[in-house]
Chains A and B, each alone.
Chain A
């Protein structure tokens, strides 16, 4: 299997890890705290897409038995979806907390540039 074929077959994984890479790059290179936080959020989204795509099964649908045509035999794996729900909530909590720290840091130092904030040795 050539790599083009691999990328085509695994487009969800490629997308997920692409987002993770972009986020990691932002975290490593950017010096603005808001941009770093955006990078972390991108990583979070990438991981969530990765988890959801792990549970996908070709030709099957959502595991909600609201009409008779959906049966256990033609539903996808429900566990990753439940995990992603938890992961999203945790991501929201961390983002909210870090935004509040950023607000206070800005009020304290009047800058968002981590290379200018005094004690931080990165």
Chain B
């Protein structure tokens, strides 16, 4: 059996509690612990993938405490969870490599918060209990609050304060929603709620749906409630920003749709409403990114736009669209990993304040990183043989076939806007004039290696066709796990 899957959460937790003791022995050791933990989690999730492949890809559950599902808490692990787990542990590993000697006077506490943030996200992805999901949401957000304030200057304290106020409102709404849902179904297990949800009167269902929707939309950076995102992204240390953009948002989008699809069995009206939110998020994100001068802020708005695209894809409800959305999640995590880490690496070499104009002509001095950054931008925009193209193709075709031609046009318009500011950025870094700022060469292998590995992943996804065919199969199965409610119920509760 695969009960050891719980180690995905237990081991990071153990490591985080161990760090203070390790730091008392030697101050330099804690910075290697995140690498060990994420590497272990990567191996474990690959192991689970192999297990799943050997068992026809049927998702499995892990019972905690030995109590059978609706009475005890259970984990639910299928292809979708494993894709996200591999993404979390891979990106986490890359970022913990990058973090060594990067964050200014990083102490042991930074690594504790970092590991616990990853642990919270892991829990969000695999848990099968609604209240447990809330607890992991809180673990994720509380570690995010403290990491945002890590630099302790005015900007990061303000961003953190903003994040705390909005985040605690989000948790309150989620809690009210969970309370109402518990009152009307007398259970907290997601499968059991889904089993009972049709007996709940419609207006009570709509009330708790709207409460959970507000709360989770705040965490998932959807349109009316994402004002905190650019500030938080700009103010937090770059490795943390990368985690927010690549992983945390993906996990919260997963939770958002798990709640919509499985808990509430949302109908087409709700899904169309969510798709509308996605479209507005996409447009506002991309258009706001146009006029930004700070790189991190520009990438933050671009990230909001991509969230909109993913939400549009998944809310189309067709298996092709959901698969495309999951594919875009993976792509976006890797692209934003390269962009945030690569540009931060460039900025540390020139003495600037993080403005785009500081990087003028940087390509002459740092050809490899500039090339990789431009390459990932081109892949992100969806130039044909590269991986971004296939994801966008899947999304567009599914939206087209669901009869929303105008949304297809809007997505294409947003892509053009995206192309404008990204190509402008490439033009700046490949500018032929001399660099104005003072440049000091700092070749650090622990910074180049993650960027190169991310780029290799893009190539792997783009050009190995056999891999792609198999991958699409996995994506469709993962999409099915998200949308097929009755199989979810029968796997958790038994038939």
Chain A nearest CB: distance from B69 CB in Å? 15
Let me know if B179 and A51 touch, CB within 8 A: yes
Q: Main secondary structure on chain A at its contact with chain B? A: helix
B contact residues around A43 at 8 Å (CB): 169, 172
Q: Which of B17-25, B138-146, B399-407 contacts its partner?
A: B138-146
Let me know if A108 and B154 touch, CB within 8 A: yes
> Does A98 lie at the interface of the complex (its beta carbon under 8 Å from any beta carbon of B)?
yes
CA distance A80 to B142 in the complex (A): 23
Give the A-B pair count, Cβ closer than 8 A.
Answer: 91
Known: A104-B152, A104-B157. A54 touches B171 (CB 8 A): no
A contact residues around B164 at 8 Å (CB): 94, 97-98, 101
B contact residues around A44 at 8 Å (CB): 168, 172
Let me know if A109 and B176 touch, CB within 8 A: no
Chain B nearest CB: distance from A121 CB in Å? 8
B contact residues around A36 at 8 Å (CB): 165
> Does B205 lie at the interface of the complex (its beta carbon under 8 Å from any beta carbon of A)?
no
Let me know if A105 and B158 touch, CB within 8 A: yes
> Does B131 lie at the interface of the complex (its beta carbon under 8 Å from any beta carbon of A)?
yes
> Does B311 lie at the interface of the complex (its beta carbon under 8 Å from any beta carbon of A)?
no
A contact residues around B154 at 8 Å (CB): 105, 108-109, 118-119
> Does A1 lie at the interface of the complex (its beta carbon under 8 Å from any beta carbon of B)?
no
Partner of A97, one of B142, B158, B162, B182: B142
Restricting to B196-235, which residues have a CB under 8 Å from any CB of A? Answer: 227, 231
Kindly state the interface size class of chain B when it binds its partner. 20 to 34
Let me know if B182 and A47 touch, CB within 8 A: no
> What are 20 inter-chain pairs, A to B, with CB distance below 8 A?
A36-B165, A40-B168, A40-B169, A43-B169, A50-B179, A77-B186, A83-B131, A90-B138, A90-B171, A94-B164, A98-B168, A104-B152, A104-B157, A105-B157, A105-B158, A108-B157, A118-B154, A120-B158, A120-B162, A121-B231
Known pairs A83-B178, A119-B155 / 8 extra A-B pairs, C-beta < 8 Å? A44-B172, A51-B175, A54-B179, A77-B186, A80-B182, A97-B145, A101-B157, A120-B158
The 3 lowest CB-CB distance pairs between A and B, nearest first, are A54-B183, A98-B164, A51-B179
List residues of chain B with CB under 8 Å of any chain A CB. 131, 135, 138, 142, 145-146, 149, 152-155, 157-158, 160-162, 164-165, 167-169, 171-172, 175-176, 178-179, 182-183, 186, 188, 227, 231
List residues of chain A with CB under 8 Å of any chain B CB. 20, 27, 33, 36, 40, 43-44, 47, 50-51, 54, 77, 79-80, 83, 86-87, 90, 93-94, 97-98, 101-102, 104-105, 108-109, 117-122
